[in-house]
Amino acid sequence: MASRTLTRAVKVLIAPALALGVTVGVASAPASAAVWSTCDQWGNTNLNGYTLYNNIWGSGAGSQCFWANSGTNWGVNANHPNTGGIKSYPNSTKAINKTITSLGSLNSSYNVSVPSSGAYNTSYDIWDTNHAYEIMLWVNKTGAVGPLGTAQGNVTLGGHSWSVYKGTNGANQVFSFIRTSNSTSGTVQILPILKWIKDTKGWFGNVTIGDVQFGYEITSSSGGLNFTTNNLTVSSS
With pLDDT > 90 as the criterion, what percentage of the chain qualifies?
85
pLDDT at 32: 54
User: In the Cβ-directed half-sphere of 81, how many Cα atoms lie within 13 Å?
Assistant: 10
Domain span at 60 = 2-236
Q: Averaged over 166-174, what is the pLDDT?
A: 93
Categorize the per-residue pLDDT at 144 as very low, low, confident or very high, splitting at 50, 70 and 90: very high
Concatenating the DSSP letter of every residue in 60-128 gives T--EEEEEEEETTEEEEEEE--S-SS--B--EEEEEEEEETTT-S-EEEEEEEE--SSSEEEEEEEEEE
Q: Which of 234, 190, 86, 201 is nearest to 146 (CA)?
A: 86
Is 54:66 a contact under the CB 8 Å cutoff? Answer: yes
Residue 18 predicted with pLDDT over 70: no
Structural domain count of the chain: 1
Q: What is the CATH number of the domain that holds 114?
A: 2.60.120.180
Q: Which of 97, 126, 134 is nearest to 189 (CA)?
A: 126
Global model pTM greater than 0.85:
yes
Is 136:176 a contact under the CB 8 Å cutoff? Answer: yes
Alpha-carbon gap, residue 134 to 95, rounded angstroms: 15
The DSSP element (H or E) to which 5 belongs, if any, is helix 2-11
Q: What is the pLDDT of residues 78-93, one digit of tens each?
A: 999 999 999 999 999 9
Taken as a whole, the chain contains a residue count of 237
CB proximity list for 11: less than 8 A, separation 6 or greater: 17, 42, 55, 57
Categorize the per-residue pLDDT at 169 as very low, low, confident or very high, splitting at 50, 70 and 90: confident
- Report the DSSP beta bridge partners of residue 30: none
Give φ, ψ of 21 to 5 degrees. 75, 30
Q: Give the pairing type, strands 50-53 and 44-47.
A: antiparallel
Tell me the CA end-to-end span of the chain in Å, nearest whole number: 32
Q: Averaged over 208-219, what is the pLDDT?
A: 98
Q: Helix (H, G, I), strand (E, B), or coil: what is residue 196?
A: helix
pLDDT at 30: 52
Q: What is the mean pLDDT of the chain?
A: 90
Alpha-carbon gap, residue 78 to 28, rounded angstroms: 9
What are the strands of the beta sheet with 173-179, ordered from one edge?
44-47, 50-53, 91-99, 208-220, 119-128, 133-142, 173-179, 160-168, 150-157
